[in-house]
């Protein structure tokens, strides 16, 4: 497999076009997490998703890695699925973390990946299932809508930090 700037652009277009599958999965995941944690979580629109896809793929270092994970997952299938579930789980978890950004968001996206994955059943094989779950987990983590992300952390230290 060769990842070129053209391949990165192609994978970005594929992710953008996948909005009809991923956005409902994001919102379903957010709704279930909101119920679990007794909080209201904002819904994500197709426009917000597509803008964030553009932002992820505008950062070349992130884009090339995301495109590599996406390309592999799009092609990955294992007969009977279970014997190969480790590889698609690892790739899905890492894609979710890559999309979400640095710590702590990357860790949250990895945990959310497993939560989204249990209800994701996509056509196209084991890899596409995990790909959709990873896209949902990564983008739902990085997009606004969580109350705790809308406020300043009380743990910051510096001249602008609350005391």
Q: Which tens digit of pLDDT belongs to each residue from 59-102?
A: 999 999 999 999 999 988 777 666 667 888 899 999 999 999 99
Q: Is residue 82 part of a domain?
A: yes
**Count of alpha carbons within 13 angstroms of residue 12, beta-carbon side:** 22
Per residue in 102-137, pLDDT (tens digit) is 999 999 999 999 889 888 776 666 678 899 999 999
Buried b (16+ CB within 10 A) or exposed e, 68-84: bbbbbbeebeeeeeeee
pTM, rounded to two decimals: 0.89
**Nearest alpha carbon to residue 145 among 50, 18, 27:** 27
Q: Is residue 155 part of a domain?
A: no
Give the residue numbers spanning the domain of 71: 5-147
The pLDDT confidence band at residue 163, using thresholds 50, 70 and 90, is very low
Number of domains in the chain: 1
Q: Is residue 152 part of a domain?
A: no
């Amino acid at each position: 497999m060769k990842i070129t700037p053209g391949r990165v652009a192609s994978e970005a277009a594929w992710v953008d076009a996948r909005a009809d599958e991923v956005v409902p999965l994001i919102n379903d995941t957010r709704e279930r997490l909101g119920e679990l944690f007794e909080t209201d979580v904002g819904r994500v629109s197709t426009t917000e998703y597509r803008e964030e896809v553009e932002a992820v793929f505008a950062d070349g270092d992130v884009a090339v890695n995301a495109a590599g994970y996406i390309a592999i997952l799009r092609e990955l299938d294992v007969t009977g699925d279970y014997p190969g579930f480790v590889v698609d789980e690892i790739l899905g978890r890492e894609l979710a973390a890559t999309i979400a950004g640095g710590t702590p968001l990357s860790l949250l996206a990895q945990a959310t990946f497993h939560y989204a994955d249990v209800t994701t059943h996509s056509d196209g094989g084991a890899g596409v299932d995990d790909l959709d779950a990873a896209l949902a987990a990564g983008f739902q983590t990085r997009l606004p809508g969580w109350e705790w992300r809308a406020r300043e952390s009380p743990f910051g230290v510096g001249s602008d930090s609350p005391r």
